[in-house]
Chain A
Amino acid sequence: MSHATTAGTAKTEASPTPVTPKKKPALSEGKKAERRLGWLLCAPAALTMIAVTGWPILYSVLLSMQRFDLKFPDRTEWVWFDNYVTVLSSPYWWNAVWVTVLLTVFTVAIELVLGMSLALIMHRALVGRGIVRTTTLIPYGIVTVVAAFSWRFAWTPGTGYLAEALGGDPVLTEKIPALLVVGLAEIWKTTPFMALLLMAGLALVPDDLLKAAAMDGASGWQRFIKITVPIMKPAILVALLFRTLDAFRIFDNLFVLTAGSQGTSSVSMLTYNNLIKGLNLGIGSTMSVLIFIMVAIIAFVFIKLFGTAAPGSDDGGKR
């Protein structure tokens, strides 16, 4: 039911409502009490979220305009945009940007295809549906670092069955093979999540419609492309948005599998290395701000695609 109603109310919300008379004096006691309760109930959540993100974001902008190296704290100095010039002219940064973008694009694309197949299997399975759903939740739930270690040992020459099966070459010490392994680990871990989101969309496709199309002679593929996908479009976009932003901040898998050596750093990995290993707060914060801007751009593009069907667009609460 959710989607039909969300779309419906979203439409009415989008159209400007001209009848908004000033109703300040008309606020009854009950209404006031409701407002107060609403604010009171939201206050702890809102204050925590703002305290832990709001000030630090501003602070990181301030830090990014200073030369601030914890190894040389007395040389701290206001340098305006020098850090940005340093980062944006660094080949390491651009390499990390490309690695992150390529990993994101390829893993999310493959996850979409695999996730859709998995969703169809879970949705249509005649036998063993429970087993399939339970086991696919394991990659979702398992600690990423644990999964990453499993892959690392599997690819370690001597120790690992995969490395042995492929002739014992050390794959994790070369850029391209290492990135392929990282991509594989990401895909394994997150495809089930994608599949679950897509499955929720599949549940909205009316069976009658598919049956009618089958009667009229539409093939399975035609039914999928012409009926299932258009109806699922909101679910697909949500799944893509969540996964894209999540893939963009890839860190755990890379940390365990390559630690960013041989030019396999993602932007998160590079920021971590500058900040915690290098203790360079200025450069680390500059990278943080740049990542924030990139993510904002991605989110903006997706929300443009969504229109008002974005997750969290309020559908009125009360019905």
Chain B
Amino acid sequence: MAGIGGAETTGKKVGWGLLNAVVVIYALFPVLWIVSLSFKSSATLADGNFIPREWSLENYRNIFSTSEFTRALVNSIGIAIIATAIAVVFGTMAAYAIARLDFPGKNLLVGVSLLIAMFPQVSLVSPLFEIERSLGLFDTWPGLILPYITFALPLAIYTLSAFFREIPWELEKAAKMDGATPGQAFRRVIAPLAAPGVFTTAILVFIFCWNDFLFAISLTSTEQSRTVPVALSFFTGSSQFEDPAGSIAAAAVVITIPIILFVLFFQRRIVAGLTSGAVKG
């Protein structure tokens, strides 16, 4: 805790610079390490050096030449985008109702979504495994999209209803005064104002779906619907003497890139979304 509102002396600036450097190194070094591994050639993979002695694109060429990875990448992108789209649409509708309308059962809905947010996901894995097998959803896209939507909805509803409460509602009243129905007021006036909040929520939900491992490994069994995190854990070298570390590292870097881009471009929005959704409720 530096002094409050003290003069910005050079000494203080240096101190802050050092602290910042510690934080940045803390956050980045595991990421840099996996990037470095991914660029090592198979000969130098196991040399234990933090920085590659010999840079090579061999690992990237390897993973993109197998359907094991490319198929998983398609699955990951498709499943995450569809689940995000549906969760955000449903979440927006529900959050608008929670923030703006008065109807019985509202508190129940808020309570249920809070319960789901805290729910131990592994408790759902056993019944879903059996139910999806009997419905033919096991090892399909919808089989993963459904649980993703369900667990993303509480996040979407909280984040969005927090955003919606900040919107100037006089505009909606004015629209109703001019003869718009509540439905029209929602579509024409509120939806455009709410767009930034919706966008932020979409990023958070996408990160959640992109990240999931437990459902993906339990409810899939073949390349057909495996997502990248799961495919990674099944990577093996082309022979039992070959270390799959290089391929794993390269694939890991590929799926980390979108996250890093989101963070770089939308840092402010992500912070706002996370804190408003979680703290305000």
Contacts and interface: CB of A to CB of B under 8 A. Distances in A.
B218 A276 contact: yes
A154 B94 contact: no
Interface stretch (A14-22, A136-144, A169-177): A136-144
A53 B255 contact: no
A153 B162 CA distance: 41
Contacts of B119: 53, 292, 295
A98 B279 CA distance: 30
Interface in B75-119: 89-91, 93-94, 96-107, 109-114, 116, 118-119
Nearest to A157: B48
B233 A255 contact: yes
Contacts of A118: 23
| Interface class of chain B by DSSP | helix
B251 to A, nearest CB: 9
A59 interface: yes
B5 interface: yes
B102 A128 contact: no
Given A38-B97, A38-B106, A137-B263, A53 B150 contact: yes
A82 interface: no
Please indicate which of the listed interface residues B4, B48, B211 has the most CB atoms of chain A within 10 Å of its own CB.
B48
Interface stretch (B56-64, B120-128, B191-199): B120-128
Interface in B196-221: 207, 210-211, 213-214, 217-218
A56 interface: yes
A271 interface: yes
B178 to A, nearest CB: 16
A203 B16 CA distance: 19
A118 B122 CA distance: 31
Interface string B18-41: 011001101110110110010000
A235 B103 contact: no
B123 A38 contact: no
B281 A288 contact: no
B118 A56 contact: no
Contacts, number: 348
Contact of A245 (B3, B118, B260, B270): B118
Contacts of B2: 124, 126
Contact of A158 (B48, B50, B100, B182): B48
Interface string B114-157: 10101111111111111100000000000000110110011001
B150 A139 contact: no
A281 B126 CA distance: 7
Contact of A45 (B28, B153, B252, B271): B153
B255 A146 contact: yes
B45 interface: yes
Contacts of B153: 45, 48-49
Interface stretch (A84-92, A105-113, A192-200): A192-200
Interface in B248-281: 248-249, 252, 255-256, 259-260, 262-264, 267, 270-271, 274-276, 278-281
Q: Which of A137, A161, A193 has the most CB of B within 10 A?
A: A137
Interface string A215-242: 0000011011000000000110011011
Contacts of A160: 48
A180 interface: no
Contacts of B116: 49, 53
A295 B228 CA distance: 29
B118 A143 contact: no
Given A49-B113, A136-B23, A252-B213, A56 B218 contact: no
A137 B267 contact: yes
B222 interface: no
A291 B126 CA distance: 12
Interface string A30-59: 010111011101101110111011011101
Contacts of A294: 120
B95 to A, nearest CB: 9
B252 A159 contact: no
Nearest to A137: B263
A153 B183 CA distance: 55
Interface in A91-147: 118, 120-121, 124-128, 130-147
Contacts of B125: 271-272, 275-276, 284, 288
A143 B122 contact: no
Given A3-B279, A126-B12, A292-B120, 18 more contacts: A37-B97, A44-B94, A45-B91, A48-B146, A121-B19, A128-B17, A139-B30, A144-B211, A145-B233, A153-B37, A161-B49, A196-B275, A197-B274, A207-B4, A249-B121, A251-B213, A272-B122, A314-B106
5 contacts: A150-B30, A153-B249, A160-B48, A220-B3, A294-B120
Query: Closest 7 interchain pairs by CB?
Result: A311-B281, A38-B103, A200-B275, A56-B127, A45-B94, A52-B150, A41-B97
Interface of A: 2-3, 6, 31, 33-35, 37-39, 41-42, 44-46, 48-50, 52-53, 55-57, 59-60, 63, 118, 120-121, 124-128, 130-147, 149-151, 153-154, 156, 158-161, 163-164, 188, 192-193, 196-197, 199-201, 207, 210-211, 214, 220-221, 223-224, 234-235, 238-239, 241-242, 245, 248-249, 251-252, 255-256, 267-268, 271-272, 275-276, 281, 284-285, 287-289, 291-292, 294-295, 299, 310-314, 317-318
